Structures are given as C-alpha cells and as structure tokens.
A and B are shown apart, each in its own frame.
Chain A
Amino acid sequence: MTVPLISLRGVTKVYGSGATQFQALKGVDLDITGGDFVAVMGPSGSGKSTTMNILGCLDMPSAGEFTFRGHHIETLDRDQRALLRRKYLGFVFQGFNLLSRTSALENVELPLLYRGEDKRSRRELGMAALDKVGLADWWDHTPAELSGGQQQRVAIARAIVTSPDVLLADEPTGNLDSERSVEIMQLLTTLNRDSGITVLMVTHEPDMAAFARTVVHFKDGLVERIEAQHRQGEAVEESPSRLREGLGVGLSPTTSSDTGGQAHPQPSSGSAVPPAQPEQRGTLFTPNSQAGGE
C-alpha cells in the first residue's frame, strides 16, 4: 500500500464571517485509494457537498491539508487547480449540466477543446466515450432531444473522455427515476471496474450507495463512519488483495466526538478499534474525524 490517491488532513471549511459565520467542515481526515468506488452519504448540511467541492478542486479548504497524488493542492492557485481538473478530474452533476443547443458529441468534446486536441482526435475520443455509455448513435442529438437518463450518460461520457483519474459525481441519479438510476449506477460501476477510474459519488439514496465499495457517512461537518461493503455480485475475495493487506485498521468509526479533546491532524491508523464488520477491508479511509471544530 503506497500513498493514497487523495488525502485530507484536518480539513476545515468556514463560510462567511462574524455573526453569520458557518463552519461547514470541522476537521475532516479522509484517505481515498486509487481505483475505489466511494459513496458519500449524509444529511443536508453534513458537509458532504463541501467535501466534494474541495475534492473536486472547485473549492479551497479554510485550513488543513489536501494532497492529490502526493501534491499539496491547498497551495495551488485558481488556474493551477483548473489545469488539475482538466487533467485528472471528471465531473457529473445532478442536473446533468450539458450545454443546450449543442449536440451530444460537441458536449463530450468540450474538455478536449480545452486540452487543445485537434478536431480529428476530438471526434475520435468523443465518439469512443459516447460508445462507452451506449449513445454512439445519438451523437448529433441536442440535450433537449434526449431523455434524462441519456443526458446523464452524455454527461458521464463528457467526464470520462479525457480518461481522468477521478470521476466526481454529485447526486448523479437525483433527477432520474429508479430504473434509469440503476442504469447509471451500473455504468459507473463498469467504468470503475474496467477503466480503473476512481469514483467519488455523493448520494442520499442507500440503494445507489449500495453500488459503491466504500461508503463514507458525514454528519455535522465530520466523517461519522466509514463502511466497506461488497459490491453487488462481487465476492469479497475478488476485491483487490491490497485492500486486505495491512494498514487496514485505519478505520476508526469512533464517532470521536467523545474523544473530542484530541488534537488533529490525527495520524490515521492504529489508535482506533476496527469495526467488527466482516467485509471490512482496510485502509481506504482514515476518518478520524476529530471533533476538531471547536
């Protein structure tokens, strides 16, 4: 087990100032291993969206450390973060967020435009991505001519067309009926398994979270607990061996508000007692969410 792909240490986020000040994150510690499929859950205001924005390099932590591939992101300026998003990240939104009056292919090609790909390679890569989501025949349709599920698949094609390391999905099934939702989740699962893309997904539907390997629960600006789970139709044994090797015990679902006095950033592993869940698979996460936010 090497350095995690993404690592948060003591990350806080404060909005506003003075009387209206609101602390959205109170010291989040989180490690995410490359290739994982993570569902982030929690009630509104628990900090899951704020965390996703920070993980997506769209927002900056007020304090704490955020490393991606070993690089400190909190030191990057706006444009550097944009370039990082361009190179390593893909986004899928609840509202699809496709450009209207723009064909599916042109939507998918958009990130390639910013990468400076020429017209031919844009077209090839764009069509390949549409093919992966099963919409190659619909390339010249505008979003208005596509169903919600199809629109979300175009959005996913747009997110993966640059072969990113991480796919961030913010309630990707929030606007879809359950049947379409399952299709989208199956698509994300396939991409995760076959292309090795790390998927981070915010959802409030347990049914959708069930597709993930790891579920992170947020509460009151802290990581409340982390559970590793079987993926549907996937035996425990199939999970990568690295997950079972050492380092594992990092999970400290000790909703450590009780131990509040501890200073953070708290070294992840070791201190906490691993939960008794049999499917527990180790060190993907080191929540240790301190009750840091005094």
Chain B
Amino acid sequence: MFGTTLVLALRSIRRHLLRSFLTILGIVIGVGAVVTMVTLGKATTAAVQQQISALGTNVLQVRPGQGFGRGGGGPRPPDFKPEDVTAIANQVAGVTAVAPQASATATAIYEGANWSTTINGTTAAFLTVQPWPLTAGRYWTPAEEEAGKAVCLIGNTVRQNLFRGGAAVGTRMRLGNISCDVIGTLSTRGQGGFGDQDDVVVMPIKAVQRRFTGSRDIRLMMVGVDTAYSTATVQAGIMDLLRERRNITGGKEDDFNIFDTKQISDTLTGTTTLLTRIVAAVAGISLVVGGIGIMNIMLVSVTERTREIGIRLAIGAVAREVLLQFLVEAVALSCLGGLIGLALAQLVILALVPVMQVPWTFDPQINVVAFAISAVIGVVFGYFPARRAAALNPIDALRHE
C-alpha cells in the first residue's frame, strides 16, 4: 500500500511541477539558510581557533598588575626582574622555558623608507615557547644574546614596508637612535587576536633594555608549559613562587596576573559558537515558515482536488489511503525541498568561503539534521491537510465544483 501511495504522490508532484516548486521554495530556503549559517559559523570558529593557536597553546602570559590595565590609583606594581625569569624556569615543575619580553616602540628606517613598529626584546627561550620559523637568515647566537648586540629579526609586515620585498638579511637599518643588523626574516603569522603579529622587530632583550627601555625591567613573561602538565597546575605553581618572591602574604591580592591563552581561545570559541547558534535559530524559523507554506498549499490542494478525492473514494480508496497519499505527498515535497536546499547551501558556501576568508568545511551532521527536520516538517504540516482530505464525504466531494 505504501508503494502505491508513493507512486500516486510522485505522479501528483510531477503533474503540478510549478506549484510543487513554489510549495517547496520555503523549505529550500530554510534548509539552505540553516546549513549555510551553521557551516560558515563553524568555519569561522575554526578560523578563530587557528589564529589563537598561533599565539601559542600551552603558553601562560605573566604580567605585573591586575588584568591587562595597570589598575587605578595606588603604587604601580613593580615589573619583573631577570631573576624572576630564572626562578620560574628552575623552580616550577612543568615549565619548559620562560621567555622574558621587553617592548618598545620605535621607527625603523632603511634607505628613505620608514615604518613605526614594535620592538620585542626577548631570549632564545622565546622560540622554545612559541616556535617561529625563519624564511631567511639565522637566529642570534648565545654570545650575541649575552652581549646584547644590536641584531634583529624582522616580521613580514616590517619587511614588506621597509624593504619593499627586496633582500633584508645582511642589511643594516636604523631603529630609533641605533643601527641594527638584520640577521633574519620571520615567517608570516597573520592576524592574531590582538592585531598584526607580523608588525614586529625581535631583538635580544639586553639590547632592548640597554638601548630603549633603559632598565632591566621585564613587562611580560611567556611561560611554556609541558604538555604533560595542565596549565592550571603550572599557573598555581608560578603564582605561589611569585607571591613569595614579591612578598605578598596572607589575604593580600596578587600584584601580577597570569593569563592562559587557552582561556582566550575557549572564550572566543564560545562566543562564535553562540553566535552560530543564534543565526542558525533565525534560519530555523524560516524552516518553520517553509513548513507552514507547505501546509497552506496542501490545504489549497485538498480543496482544489476535492473532486479527485471524491473519485478516489468512490472507486474504493479507504480513508487511510487518501490520508497516506496526501501525507506522503507532503513529505515527498518537503524532502525534495530539503535536498535542493542542501545543494543550494553547498553552492552558497562555496561562493562565500573566499569572501569571508574562512576555510571550506563540510559538516555531515548539520546536513543530515537539516534534511531530517525537513522530512519531519512534511509529516507535521502535511498531516492536517491530509486528515481533512481523508475525512471528506465522497458524495459531497464528487459534487464539488
């Protein structure tokens, strides 16, 4: 009996191609919107995660003060000293390396081109914490680091703006008030969570301290965490050590903060996931509207086909068969709409991926779910018109004009 009704339903759809198409338009758009939105949302989340992982995973950032700001009144918390770096590296379990950072801003000049950039003074540990390959040249030697020589690695943005794509390694450029040998160029990292990561000049920390900041103070320590340890454990160890070293006792608050990049990653991922869900919910509403569209057309169809129903009943269709016919027709229509919607979504995603600069992804789960929902919508919104058709009195139906 089911095979028969399926044949009948498909025949009916085929006989009214235009009307069938208009009927399923809502479902097509609904399914297409849901799949597109969820897929692109997930791709965006993946892109964000990728950018954050560029900051380094399993990295703790230790800064003086509370939070990112220096806080309101009160004495300024002291910066860290090189001894703090050594202490953390030697005394806290699970730490792979500690990279101190001293930053300054200066204008780099080379053959008439100038570019204002950030100078990042650090040690070789920086590369252990966050590997950063070179495209050309070399890293500085331990001797150069110890002596604080004016050698530098330049980020890709600096290279582009100062050297116009020409050879940079081996040249000598001006950086603020000093001359500096360019010994290597860093590979591209792209946009991070906090701006252009390639707009940077990296130098031995002693050089930066001596020539730019004029002190041994360290504003930031990047702590690499062994993957065998949880960042929370290491974070607690650093906290205890620094409180001791900075004479913070009892209930006094820390005058430094430890930031886990994983937390940023989780927060941002959570935000994009939430946004994806909201957009998907809005798209889901259009799916329901599409279902109501099917119900409308099916109701009209039942009225318009009253005579046909009368004929079927007269020649011996039982009510159940008429109900099933219209129900199957509605489900077939909505499933067809779902399939077209899925195809449409793939086209839209292919078109939008380059524009939105997110990686192309195919998520089987959302495709299956969206299709299943379209089928369910066919059942739910097809049932009422179908029941109405089945309940018709054959005599009245045959007289219907």
Contacts and interface: CB of A to CB of B under 8 A. Distances in A.
Nearest to B391: A78
Interface string B292-322: 0000000000000001101111111111110
Given A59-B395, A116-B1, A97 B319 contact: no
Contacts of B319: 78-79, 82
Contact of B315 (A102, A106, A158): A158
Nearest to B401: A95
Contacts of A59: 395
A256 to B, nearest CB: 29
A154 to B, nearest CB: 12
B49 to A, nearest CB: 55
B147 interface: no
A83 B316 contact: yes
Nearest to B316: A86
Interface string B1-34: 1001001100100011000000000000000000
Number of chain B interface residues as a range: 20 to 34
A198 B11 CA distance: 33
Interface string A57-93: 0110000000000000000001100111111011101
B315 A111 contact: yes
Given A97-B307, A99-B308, A102-B15, A114 B316 contact: yes
Interface in B377-401: 394-395, 398
Contacts of B395: 53, 58-59
A79 B308 CA distance: 18
Contacts of A85: 314-316
Contacts, number: 61
Nearest to B7: A113
Interface of B is mostly: helix
Contacts of B316: 82-87, 89, 111, 114-115
A115 B308 CA distance: 18
Contacts of A82: 313, 316-319
| Residue from B1, B15, B315 having most chain A Cβ neighbours under 10 A | B315
Interface in A243-276: none
A111 B7 CA distance: 14
B314 A114 contact: no
B4 A116 contact: yes
A110 B4 CA distance: 10
A221 interface: no
Contacts of B8: 113
B326 to A, nearest CB: 15
Interface in B274-297: none
A56 interface: yes
A58 B317 CA distance: 12
9 contacts: A79-B320, A85-B314, A85-B315, A86-B315, A89-B316, A97-B398, A99-B308, A102-B15, A115-B316
Given A85-B315, A101-B15, A111-B315, 18 more contacts: A53-B395, A56-B314, A79-B320, A82-B313, A82-B319, A83-B316, A84-B316, A85-B314, A90-B315, A91-B314, A97-B310, A102-B11, A102-B15, A110-B312, A113-B4, A114-B321, A116-B1, A116-B4
